[in-house]
Structures are given as C-alpha cells and as structure tokens.
Chains A and B, each alone.
Chain A
Amino acid sequence: MNSKEIFSQLNIFAQCKKYGLPLWQCPHFLFLLMGLIIIGSTLGFYLIGSRYIQDPQAVALITLLVTAILFIIAFIVTRSFERLAEANRMKSEFISVVSHQLRSPLSNLRWTIELLNSGKVDSVSEKQLEYFKVLKENSDRMRELISDLLIISRIETAKFPLKKKEFSLVELIKELIKGLEPLAKASNVEVKFEPKADSPKIFADPSQIQLVIENLLDNAIRYIKEKGKVEIKLKRKDGSLYFEIEDTGVGIPEEDQKYIFQKFFRSENVMRYQTQGSGLGLYIAKSIIERSGGKIGFKSEENKGSTFWFTLPIK
C-alpha cells in the first residue's frame, strides 16, 4: 500500500462518504469515537480509583474490567454498523452494475427502433409506425429510470463530484425552456421567464443544476391538467440566488407533501396515472442543491398549483 492509499484509509470522512451513511452510523467514525471513549474512561477510572481505593491492584483490576466491558460494547456496536454500512454500499454498487448492464441492451433496442422508424431499412406502414412509437416511448422511459438510478447510486457513494464553475442561470433556463417548448405547446401551457438585467452568476456544476431545473420545469408543465401557466423567477435574495417556479397545476395533496422529496414517491394527485415518472427526480434535485450549498423547498395547494424554489450561493 503506498502512502496515498494509507492516507485515504485514514481519512475517515472520505471513507464514511463512500458508504452513503451519516457520520454517526459510519463504522470508521464510531470506531474512532469508541476508542476515544475507552481511552478517556480508562484514564478516568484509574485516576478516580487511585484517589479512593488504597490497593493499587484492586484499582488496576477494576480499570481493566471497565476497559474490557467498554471494549466489548464498542466491538458489538461497530460490527453491527459495519454490516449496515456494507449492505448500503453493496446496494449502491448493485444498482450501479445492474443499471450499466441494463443500459447496453437498451441502447441496442433504442437505436434499432430509430433505424426502423427512419424508413431507411424498408418502408414502414402507418400502423407499424404507431407500434414503433410505443416501443420508443417505453424504451425512453426505461432509459430515464436507469439514468436516475445511476445518478442516485453515484450521489450515495460519493462518486458524483461537483465540477463547479461560474456561470449564468439565465442562459441555462432559456435553453431548457426552448428544449421543453414542444411539451409545453402540446400541453397548452405558457411558460414565462423574464430575467432581470442584474441576475448574478453562480458558482456551481452547470450540468447538475441543469438536471434540477429540467426536472422542476418538466414537472410544472406535466402537472397542469388542461391549460395553464408556468412562471419562472430569478432574483438575488439574502446574498444568494433565488430561483422560483410557479405553476397553475393540480397541486400536491397536503398528506403527501412531507414525502415529496423521498425516493420513488409519487403523489396520489389527479395526474398520478396520466403522467409517467420514477419518483426520483425531486430526490435527485434536493441532493444536488444541498450538495451545492443551497436549499430547496416548495409550497402547494391542491387544485391551485405549486411553487418550487431553491437557493444557491453566489460566488
């Protein structure tokens, strides 16, 4: 093992990040903590014992007994958390491996459908085109789900680093609105965005922030039932950049609101069975914003609409 590997093993925070568990559940951290407690307790008992007990052998025996008991407790505690951490790591690795293995046949399927759809191989009847469309839509759904699962797996095993740089959210938002224009038109939704001239730049990973805004905008459009409006605002607030997206959609039932950022959660609102989604988008959005040093939240009223917001630090 070279010195770099030794140092990385000693870097408890990096080791804990790999497991995707909070510090207090991380076996490396617990081992260190229990070690310090044992050393402190041993010294404490010895000092206190020496003051009140005359026989040094008795003091030594009691200190040893206490140390042994604490050691056994520490061993049991760290072992059980080690199993939990290992299970969590294996789960993330499993998702990553399976997702990658699923992506390959899915890419094959997708490109074959595109080739057939193009009519370049042979002429395609209207009816065949309809069925190819179904194949394509479903392979796209699977592809998005696998992509989301891979992102989550990387976030949870700290393999999704932020490549921060200074950039303007205004241009990013304009591009995303343009990209989702066909969906907005088809859904009869007007998307409004009037950025102010003095919108500040932020220091973040543009590709990850793009994922967040794309998800919020896509949701805002899709959860409008017949005709509606989505309005995006961007401003400076309390030294941060404040992004807000308000829709006139179906809203989120109150009983569902506390689960909205959980993995795989999809609200039981009226659009539940008319829209497709994995329930991972908001979990990913929250993870990205918090890792970028920001906050995310929302307010919503059923049948009136929702407003999602996030803040990001300005460099």
Chain B
Amino acid sequence: MKKILFIEDESALQKTFGEILSQEGYEMISALDGEIGLRLANPPAGEKKPDLILLDLVLPKIHGFEVLKKLKADIETKDIPVIVLTNLEGIGDVDKALGLGATTYLVKAQYGLEEVVEKIKKALGE
C-alpha cells in the first residue's frame, strides 16, 4: 500500500484527505507543521518512507518553501515527489516551488477533490 505524507496545518483538511485517500487505497500520515513533516518524511530505519508528499505552504514553525528546500536537499528524501497544495498564488510562488523541485503546484481553490486525487495518482505513476 502506497504511503502519502500530508503536511497541512488544517486538521479539517487532514480529515477529508484521510478519508478519500483511504477510500482510494492509500495510507496517509499527517503532519500539522513543517517540523513534524520533515521528521515523518525521513523516518527511522525500518520504517517505510512516504511515496509522495502533499505539502501546504503556509505552515506553522517552518514555511512550506523551507520544508521543500530541506526535503530536496536531503539525500534520503530528495527523490520523493512533492505536490504543493496551497491557496498561495502570488507572483513567483509557482516558479519558486517548481524551481525548488516540487512536481506539481495546485491552488486549492482551483481544483475539486477528485481532480487532486487524479494528480496524486499521476505523480505516483498510476
């Protein structure tokens, strides 16, 4: 079963995605801030790393861009595909995220739930 790490501070969204991803046959683990996210992205030996990371940008403790930078700088996590899922749409946000190595940048307000799931499946090569 593929594992998805969702780094998002809104627990309501964690709940919704937990439900839909479980229905789609994925295991989802939650991180409510960037620090926990980085820890769960690189678990201790013996534990499975996530196959994909869903990353919000506006996060407590460490901003999403910083999390993305660290994920891509770490040899253990740099190959995990990252989908940025945010409502930030400022000039340069998309280019910055893609430049830091994000696979896809999705603005929450522009996508339905099913569309996001399709993007996840595509990023997982399904």
Contact = CB atoms under 8 A, between A and B. Distances in A.
Interface of A: 100, 103-104, 106-108, 110-112, 114-115, 118, 120-121, 143, 146-147, 150, 159, 161
A113 to B, nearest CB: 9
Given A111-B16, A121-B19, A104 B112 contact: no
A67 B108 CA distance: 57
Contact of A103 (B16, B87, B90): B87
A273 B16 CA distance: 35
B13 A143 contact: no
Contact of B89 (A112, A115, A150): A150
Contacts of A161: 91
Nearest to B114: A114
B45 interface: no
12 contacts: A100-B87, A103-B109, A104-B87, A106-B109, A107-B108, A108-B16, A111-B16, A111-B17, A114-B112, A120-B19, A121-B19, A150-B89
B13 A111 contact: yes
Q: Is the interface of A mostly helix, strand, loop or mixed?
A: helix
B113 interface: yes
Interface string B1-44: 00000000010110011011001000000000000000000000
B62 interface: no
Q: Is the interface of B mostly helix, strand, loop or mixed?
A: helix
A175 B108 CA distance: 23
Contacts of B90: 159
A220 B16 CA distance: 37
A161 B93 CA distance: 13
Most buried by B among A100, A121, A161: A100
Contact of B12 (A103, A108, A118): A108
Contact of B23 (A100, A103, A104, A120): A120
Contacts of B89: 150
A112 B108 contact: no
A88 to B, nearest CB: 19
Nearest to A121: B19
Contacts of A107: 13, 87, 108-109
B76 to A, nearest CB: 31
A166 B13 CA distance: 39
B63 to A, nearest CB: 15
A111 B113 contact: yes
Interface string B32-71: 0000000000000000000000000000000000000000
Contacts of B87: 100, 103-104, 107
B60 to A, nearest CB: 14
Given A107-B13, A107-B109, A159-B91, 6 more contacts: A100-B88, A103-B109, A108-B12, A114-B113, A118-B114, A150-B89
Nearest to A160: B91
A108 B112 contact: no
A242 B97 CA distance: 38
A212 to B, nearest CB: 18
A150 B87 CA distance: 11
